[in-house]
Amino acid sequence: MAYNKETAVESDDPSDYKWSDIKGEPGVPGAVGADGKTYYTWIAYSDNADGSGMYQQPNDNTKYIGIAVNKETTTESSNPADYTWSQFKGNKGDKGDGYTQMGQFKTGMVVPKMGIVSMGGGSYVAKASTTNPPLIGVGRTMPAIGLLSMMAAMC
């Protein structure tokens, strides 16, 4: 898992991630249940919704995860019908409304909704598409007097 990253783009560098072993060593046996039986959970993966062609380790193409609970043996079944299958990886979604870097604001520039421009040492974002300078500061803001002077000069 990678967290606290400054970009939504996934990294190809393994050192950017915290790694965990998803199949560890056998643990300490727990207390015997009321019926004296030990129950196990099996997990398998597949590229198909019905679990056909299932396998034990997920890969880049894995689309479905199968889980079988309350099994009385550690030996996992090879029958997909013994598992409940759920989508593990969904389809790529539509592109969202992200920010667009527009650079230095110039008179007559059309700044799209969520467009960011630089003006007078600050950065500003447009709430709606506009040809006027956006007035919502991002990060460092400029003093109101400087903003008014700049606006007057632009008119």
pLDDT at 3 (0 to 100) = 63
pLDDT at 149 (0 to 100) = 41
pLDDT at 97 (0 to 100) = 65
Model pLDDT for residues 82-107, shown as the tens digit of each residue = 999 999 877 777 776 677 788 888 88
Phi, psi at residue 114, to the nearest 5°?
70, 15
Any bridge partners for residue 44, and if so which?
66
CA-nearest of 14, 17, 24 to 2 is 17
Any bridge partners for residue 124, and if so which?
117, 137
Q: Rounded mean pLDDT of the chain? A: 78
H/E segment holding residue 117: strand 115-119
pLDDT at residue 50 is higher than 90 = yes
pLDDT at 65 (0 to 100) = 95
pLDDT at 96 (0 to 100) = 66
pLDDT at 56 (0 to 100) = 93
Any bridge partners for residue 86, and if so which?
65
Q: Do the strands 122-125 and 115-119 form a parallel or antiparallel pair, or are they unpaired?
A: antiparallel
pLDDT at residue 72 is higher than 70 = yes
pLDDT at 79 (0 to 100) = 97
pLDDT at 138 (0 to 100) = 56
Average of per-residue pLDDT across 127-152: 56
d(CA 111, CA 126): 7
Structure tokens at 87: 């989508």
What share of residues in the chain are helix, strand, coil (percent, to 5)?
10, 25, 65
pLDDT at residue 140 is higher than 70 = no
pLDDT: is 46 or 32 the higher one? 46
pLDDT at 116 (0 to 100) = 84
- Using CA atoms, how far residue 121 sits from 33, 141, 143, 147, 154, in Å, is 68, 8, 10, 10, 16
